[in-house]
Amino acid sequence: MGLKKTNKKKLQKKLLHKYRLVVLNEDTFEERFAIKLTRLNVFFLSSLAAIILVILTTLLIVFTPLREYIPGYSSTALQKQALDLDSKTDSLLKSINMNDAYINSLKSVLRGEVSAVVINKDSIFKAAQADTDVLELNPSKADSLLREKVRNEDKYNLFESATSVKDFVFFPPVNGSISSGFEPNEKHFAVDIVVPTNTPVKATSDGRVLFASWTSDAGYVIIIDHGDELVSVYKHNSSLTKSQGDFVRSREVIAISGASGELSTGPHLHFELWSNGTPLNPTNFIDF
């Protein structure tokens, strides 16, 4: 018990023992500054200075732009810019993905790398006829004569009631004999119509030119978008009369037939018809 008291007194004496801090002139040894200190005072002042330094540093970081230079901190303006850039990037990615899908669809049309679905013309006409039978129409005699006259004058196989292809009317791009028919099993998604060189090739329906250029395999190729996912393709032409982006009308001349391209076997028109990325048999809709 006495030993503990002795140690406590020694510690208290060390902490309260006074020291004198003196600043002297080195040349004259003149005393310029002096201060009395104890170990307890030095410890207290050091702790207080450290606390004040920590507080000042914290305030400097929180309320000044210096915090932007510290990893993990960012300004409100930078955060807003980052959010805006993220939104724009997301929109650009969606747009790029849509364009890639559209381009891949066109590549499939050009290369014929799509499985085919054959549409039965008779079943479509029956469905269309069933829809018209619902209406109880009583045409007049003059109307009946006009209808008969139009049927007699119509030399084309018009596909006016085909709900599967959005009520389109197709005209033959050329008239001639078919040398090679629609053979999906052999990846021939078209019909080849034999025609003399320099025969005018006409648009099968109204639309806009999606592609008009030269390819090594098919020669001069023109592709027309008729809307509602319907596309027609004309290959092996000797020249083109329309450019990409042009709007064309039904039976308007879009190219001149020929035998261009490495895959051509002679003067003919390679004609394809696609609906929603699926090849259709053109003879189901057009009388060549």
Comparing 78 with 198, the larger pLDDT belongs to: 198
The pLDDT score that the predictor gives to residue 86 is 82
Chain segment 224-271, per-residue pLDDT in tens: 999 888 999 999 999 999 999 999 999 999 999 999 998 888 899 999
pLDDT band with cut points at 50, 70 and 90 for residue 154:
very low
How far from each other are the two terminal CA atoms of the chain, in whole angstroms? 124
Sketch out the chain's domains with CATH numbers.
2-66 (no CATH), 121-284 (2.70.70.10)
Rounded Cα–Cα distance for residues 25 and 11 (Å): 34
Rounded Cα–Cα distance for residues 181 and 192 (Å): 7
The pLDDT score that the predictor gives to residue 145 is 67
The pLDDT score that the predictor gives to residue 126 is 56
Chain segment 157-213, per-residue pLDDT in tens: 333 333 455 467 899 999 999 999 999 888 899 999 999 999 999 999 999 999 999
The arithmetic mean of pLDDT across residues 143-150, rounded, is 65
The arithmetic mean of pLDDT across residues 112-126, rounded, is 53
Residue 275 — φ and ψ, nearest 5°? -130, 115
Comparing 241 with 62, the larger pLDDT belongs to: 241
Percent of the chain with pLDDT over 70: 73
Query: Which of 86-90, 108-112, 133-137, 265-269 tops mean pLDDT?
Result: 265-269
Average pLDDT of the chain is 79
Cβ neighbours around 232 below 10 Å, total: 25
All residues at 6 or more sequence positions from 78 whose CB lies less than 8 Å from its CB, including other chains = 68
Comparing 51 with 111, the larger pLDDT belongs to: 51
Comparing 151 with 158, the larger pLDDT belongs to: 151
Contacts 24+ apart (CB under 8 A), 130-137: 131/161, 131/163, 132/161
Contacts 24+ apart (CB under 8 A), 222-225: 222/254, 222/255, 223/106, 223/109, 223/110, 224/248, 224/254
Comparing 70 with 228, the larger pLDDT belongs to: 228
Comparing 62 with 130, the larger pLDDT belongs to: 62
Percent of the chain with pLDDT over 90: 34
C-alpha 274, offset from chain centre: 22
pLDDT band with cut points at 50, 70 and 90 for residue 42:
confident
Helix or strand run (H / E) with residue 40? helix 39-63
